[in-house]
Amino acid sequence: MTSPLYDTIGINYANLRRPDPRFAAAIRRALGDAQSVINVGAGAGSYEPADMVVTALEPSTEMIRQRGGSAAPVIQGVAEDIPFGDDSFDAALAVLTMHHWTDAGKGLAEMKRVARDRVVIFTFDPTHGLFWLADYIPELDTLDREWGVTPDFVSATLGNCEMKVVPVPHDCKDGFLGAYWRRPEAYLETRVRAAISSFSRITDTEQALDQLRADLASGTWRERYGDLLDRTELDCGYRLITATLTD
């Protein structure tokens, strides 16, 4: 197994990527009456339902190290080769992890193989287009579009899917890329960017961040995007996809 990205960038990840209760509730509803769940690409353990028997699968040693004492038992492994037999779990769950897989189609097929009842995917639509941050760092939007794993691709691979838009609240607790759409100054913090994998894939953001800093100081950012400050949530392209495997 090659060294996963989060072995390098995942330091203190658990402190900034805390589960947001609103996303947790949506994911729990999507899991329905499942009793056993495999959490694929489980990271530090966010969004693992406490009332279910969860088995975590995670490739990164650093992420495994950060799992708390109450987190589910974890096995080191990858989505493309889940080390369990067919129909081993009621449900398979993947939260903001598909963009790290080497083969999304194979990973989804593996989740479908090991799940008896349903597969739940919390991901983002790369065709939606990034919010205002792409005006400063267009490479972020380009990365999403080059990845190209759309909800339609997920639905075609899994079959019988329901997709829901998951708006990002203005005070989102989980520090993923879209979390700070109403808190622009957060993107200037090194520790915030370190917990967002997209920034690790861009070689130079210094000039763009300097421009954002200057626009915040001068009021230019507020002139351009100030209407967002009156909003409580924003569709940043995040989607919750549920595939039902049984009639």
Read off the pLDDT of residues 183-215 as tens digits, 9 standing for 90 and up: 999 999 999 998 898 898 888 999 999 999 999
Task: Look at residue 100 and tell me if it is in a domain.
Answer: yes
Q: How far is residue 218's CA from residue 14's CA, in Å, rounded to a whole number?
A: 34
Task: Look at residue 180 and tell me if it is in a domain.
Answer: yes
Task: Look at residue 61 and tell me if it is in a domain.
Answer: yes
Judge whether 48 and 73 are in contact, CB under 8 Å: no
Task: Look at residue 1 and tell me if it is in a domain.
Answer: no
Query: Domain span at residue 180?
Result: 6-244
Residue 167 has pLDDT above 50, yes or no: yes
pTM, to two decimals: 0.91
Whose tokens are 């909800």? That residue is 151
Inter-CA distances, 237 with 129, 144, 161, 166, Å: 7, 11, 17, 8
Task: Look at residue 64 and tell me if it is in a domain.
Answer: yes
Task: Look at residue 161 and tell me if it is in a domain.
Answer: yes
Residue 158, classed as helix, strand or coil, is helix
Give residue-wise pLDDT tens across range 83-136. 999 999 999 999 999 999 999 999 999 999 999 999 999 999 999 989 999 999
Residue 2 has pLDDT above 60, yes or no: no
Q: How many domains does the chain have?
A: 1
Task: Look at residue 60 and tell me if it is in a domain.
Answer: yes
Tokens of 9: 């960038």
Task: Look at residue 14 and tell me if it is in a domain.
Answer: yes
Q: How far is residue 38's CA from residue 246's CA, in Å, rounded to a whole number?
A: 17
